[in-house]
Amino acid sequence: MKAENQNDIVVIGSINMDIVCRVHRRPEPGETVLGGEALFIPGGKGANQAVAAARLGGNVHFLGRVGNDAFGSQLLKGLRENQVQAECVKITDGVSSGCALILVDDKGENSIVVAPGANHRLTPEDIRETETLIAKAGYVLLQLEIPLETAIEAVSICRRHGVFTILDPAPAPLGGLPDSLFRVDLLTPNQSEAESILGMEAGDIMTTGARLLEKGAGCVVLKRGAEGAMVFQGKNALPVESFRVDAKDTTAAGDAFTAALAVALNEGMEMKKAARFACAAGALCCTRLGAQSSLPFRNDVDRFC
Ligand code: RIB
């Protein structure tokens, strides 16, 4: 059930059809391996976060683009079935919907290649057209499977309206992260994304958090997978314990985490408690195969916590 007195959560980002195949182990360069059946499962970091936030009780709008094709229709239907408001999703001629090719091995670890398709047609102008919706949102969530200039415009509109902005810098851009994208209210990278956007060698976690704050992030929640998370806020660095699960597939665990964090903050939880709730959502997501197929519902997370 949706809470009446909460602000809207707007997710701006990618939406993909994931083509998932289980393999015993992921192939070496030049190697062919035989896998299980090919499964078609809705995904995309943006859409995953939108669906996760809605399942956890948020009032969610999604802004993105799909192609004018069968995957596009299926993906939109999936959003609506999950109570995500998708009126602002544009159907784009002449380009396919985003697709991701995902291999999941026996350890539950994955390799993902994204063919962005329509996601890369999401323009700064698209975001400007939805300024009224963004202005009245409580939280805006962004990731980086859309063009960087579009994410930059979204952050700038959020700042203008004082809307709390969360950036999941995934995937980390090859050319580095533009300065304005560090200056969001909350950054939620994992350790390797954090090192990549800072252009630093593998370093210790305290240095990583401190450097992200120096770059202008209001707060940093570093996702540490099975190790939980670390909250960096002002001078504080607060470890957050994870939950132990038997991981079958880690796909979308980071998306479930970020979405849960937004929902919890929107409900007034303080950051460390919100991060613990997010760890629970991420852990539960790892217990099932696929992206949106594995995103937990609110009852599951509350019971698990
Ligand atoms: O974070 C997981 C997601 O990454 C998958 O659903 C895939 O579509 C890629 O975007």
Whether 29 maps to a domain, the answer reads no
Whether 48 maps to a domain, the answer reads yes
CA-angle at 128, arms to 166 and 99, nearest 5°: 65
Tens of pLDDT, residues 53-67: 999 999 999 999 999
Q: In the structure encoding, which two tokens stand for residue 245, read together?
A: 């699960």
277: confidence class by pLDDT, cuts 50, 70, 90: very high
Tens of pLDDT, residues 22-31: 999 999 999 9
Closest approach atom of ligand 1 to CA 42: 6
Tens of pLDDT, residues 176-197: 999 999 999 999 999 999 999 9
pLDDT for the residue 5:
63
Cα–Cα dist 71/52, whole Å = 20
**Class of residue 299 by CB neighbours under 10 A (exposed 0-12, middle 13-18, buried 19+):** exposed
Q: Which residues of 47-74 are buried (b: 16+ CB within 10 A; e: fewer)?
A: bbbbbbbbbbbbbbbbbbbbbebebbee
2: confidence class by pLDDT, cuts 50, 70, 90: low
| Nearest alpha carbon, ligand 1 atom 2 | 252
Question: What is the arithmetic mean of pLDDT over 114-131?
Answer: 98
Question: What is the arithmetic mean of pLDDT over 91-112?
Answer: 95
Q: Phi/psi at 194 (nearest 5 deg)?
A: -60, -45
Whether 1 maps to a domain, the answer reads no
Tens of pLDDT, residues 195-223: 999 998 877 899 999 999 999 999 999 99
pLDDT for the residue 203:
77
Question: What percent of the chain has a predicted confidence (pLDDT) above 90?
Answer: 93
Q: Is the CB of 250 under 6 A from ligand 1?
A: no
Q: In the structure encoding, which two tokens stand for residue 140, read together?
A: 């805006």
Q: In the structure encoding, which two tokens stand for residue 66, read together?
A: 């799909």
Q: In the structure encoding, which two tokens stand for residue 189, read together?
A: 């990278």
Does residue 255 carry a catalytic annotation?
yes
3-state secondary structure of 219: coil
Q: Rounded mean pLDDT of the chain?
A: 95
- 93 pLDDT more than 70: yes
Q: Is the CB of 59 under 6 A from ligand 1?
A: no
- Can you give the length of the chain in residues? 305
Whether 256 maps to a domain, the answer reads yes
CA of 193 to the centre of ligand 1 (A): 15
88, amino acid identity = C
Question: What is the arithmetic mean of pLDDT over 120-139?
Answer: 97
Nearest to 50 by CA among 61, 66, 64: 61
Whether 35 maps to a domain, the answer reads no
Whether 240 maps to a domain, the answer reads yes
CA of 4 to the centre of ligand 1 (A): 30
- 1 pLDDT more than 60: no
A 10 A CB-CB count for 76 gives 21
80: confidence class by pLDDT, cuts 50, 70, 90: very high
CA of 236 to the centre of ligand 1 (A): 31
- Considering the candidates 69, 204, 255, 302, report the single residue annotated as catalytic: 255
Question: What is the arithmetic mean of pLDDT over 35-52?
Answer: 98
Question: What percent of the chain has a predicted confidence (pLDDT) above 70?
Answer: 98
CA of 13 to the centre of ligand 1 (A): 11
pLDDT for the residue 37:
96
3-state secondary structure of 281: helix
Question: What is the arithmetic mean of pLDDT over 246-253?
Answer: 94
Q: Is the CB of 44 under 6 A from ligand 1?
A: yes
Q: Is the CB of 126 under 6 A from ligand 1?
A: no
Helices marked H in 59-144 — which ranges? 70-81, 124-129, 131-135
Question: What is the arithmetic mean of pLDDT over 140-168?
Answer: 98
Question: What is the arithmetic mean of pLDDT over 36-64?
Answer: 98
Q: In the structure encoding, which two tokens stand for residue 21, read together?
A: 């195949």
Tens of pLDDT, residues 284-302: 999 999 999 999 999 999 9
pLDDT for the residue 52:
98
CA of 14 to the centre of ligand 1 (A): 9
Q: Is the CB of 104 under 6 A from ligand 1?
A: no
- What's the number of domains the chain is made of? 1
Whether 28 maps to a domain, the answer reads no
Q: Is the CB of 60 under 6 A from ligand 1?
A: no
Whether 197 maps to a domain, the answer reads yes
- 85 pLDDT more than 60: yes
Cα–Cα dist 45/18, whole Å = 11
Q: What is the CATH number of the domain that holds 272?
A: 3.40.1190.20
- 95 pLDDT more than 90: yes
Q: Is the CB of 48 under 6 A from ligand 1?
A: yes
Residue-number span of the structural domain to which 91 is assigned: 9-15+43-96+117-304
